[in-house]
Amino acid sequence: MKPSSLYIHIPFCASKCYYCDFNSYVSTGEVMDRYLDGLEKEMELLSKELPWEPLKTVFFGGGTPTMFDVKQTERMMNILNRFFRLAEGAEISVEANPGTVNLEKLRVLKEGGANRLSFGVQSFHDPILKKLGRLHDSLTVYHSYEKARQAGFSSINLDLMFGLPGQTIPIFEDSLRRIVELQPEHISAYSLKVEEGTPFAIWQERGKLQLPPEEEDLAMYQLLMDTLEAHGYQMYEISNFAKKDHDCRHNQVYWRNEPYLAAGAGAHGYVNDVRYVIQSSVPGYIETCLSGKRPVVEREEIPAEIQREDTMILGLRMIRGVEHARFKERHGVDMHNVFGREIERFVQEGLLTDNAEAVCLTKKALPIANEVFSGFLIS
């Protein structure tokens, strides 16, 4: 399969949030200009060295891609369009933080082909935003969202988090009320995971990070599912909800374990059954790119058995599950020949359904999905 999706990493933020372990840095406009010099060269090399089809999805992630000023934003979009052909109707997503956009910048994104925005809201409760290290407040969310609508964006995602320090069920319920009032086309909602090396991890180790108990975290997840379903959002993945025809097509490439290109410091790609990792250091990345080399620091060929595991574990995140026909087409073998024992066990436990079309998580399994996923690690 030739990839028809591209992820582009923009590793700049106004500040580092206390829970974030993504490859991101606080930097200057001059460094950002140099980064775009490097990205331009990498995109040229990437377009020539790896196979690809006209792109059906592109995702600018970070970091915060909207940290670029208007001129840099225009250049970012021009780089994409110069080196890659886009398929008709391609989905082009850009991550943004509230407070990092203005009308001119949003119009430049739109004119460059972007047609989907994803705002990192996380909470509408200002004291919790401060505890997360976020720079915006709830009022800024409304202002940025309104500007995006004025610029003509008709597909907007808003991110929420739950299980946060200081968060109660009523506080989370209020954030849900506010988000459905805005009526974005897509909502992503994740339970906080304390990642190693973050300030949150250090504070947790020292006993200074007080998180809601597990039963409240589960209650928030149930409240999330019930509330969004009642307001017309279809749950299509364990953390993602969308109105009709607004599922994120790019993320489904990952969940289906399909190939994708990647560029930008710290990005990961997957082409010809090989996963590759781009140099994460921004100065090193720029230097390597400008020397005329792709800044790949790691390549790993994925064995067939691991590919099958990935297809099951990633695919079960989707509510429609892993389709039998797609699995056989992808791996040349029937799903039951590989995972029959595991599927039967989870069906008996009421955690999976297995029908003629697909194997799917049950509602009972959604809060403990990781336990199901781990059961398919058999290689």
Q: What is the pLDDT of residues 290-340, one digit of tens each?
A: 999 999 999 999 999 999 999 999 999 999 999 999 999 999 999 999 999
Closest CA to 58 of 3, 7, 111: 7
Averaged confidence pLDDT in the chain: 96
What was the pLDDT predicted at 21?
79
Rounded distance, CA 2 to CA 143, Å? 40
| Residues in a beta bridge with 301 | 274
Radius of gyration of the chain measured on its C-alpha atoms:
21
Q: Which helix (H) or strand (E) holds 177?
A: helix 169-182
Q: What share of the chain is helix, strand, coil (3-state, %, to 5)?
A: 45, 20, 35
Q: For 157-213, what is each residue's pLDDT tens digit?
A: 999 999 999 999 999 999 999 999 999 999 999 999 999 999 999 999 999 999 999
Task: Report which residue type is found at 231.
Answer: H
Q: Which helix (H) or strand (E) holds 28?
A: none
What was the pLDDT predicted at 379?
61
Please answer whether residues 63 and 106 qualify as being in contact, where contact means their C-beta atoms are separated by less than 8 angstroms. no
Q: For 80-134, what is each residue's pLDDT tens digit?
A: 999 999 999 999 999 999 999 999 999 999 999 999 999 999 999 999 999 999 9
Q: Residue 372: which pLDDT band, with cuts at 50, 70 and 90?
A: very high
Task: Report which residue type is found at 324.
Answer: H
User: Other C-beta atoms within 10 Å of 76: how many?
Assistant: 24
Rounded distance, CA 339 to CA 20, Å? 35
Q: For 243-274, what is each residue's pLDDT tens digit?
A: 999 999 999 999 999 999 999 999 999 999 99
What was the pLDDT predicted at 22?
81
Helix (H, G, I), strand (E, B) or coil at 234: strand
DSSP class of residue 65 equals G
Domains and CATH numbers, the chain: 5-255 (3.80.30.20), 304-374 (1.10.10.920)
Please answer whether residues 236 and 320 qualify as being in contact, where contact means their C-beta atoms are separated by less than 8 angstroms. yes
Token representation of residue 284: 């090193």
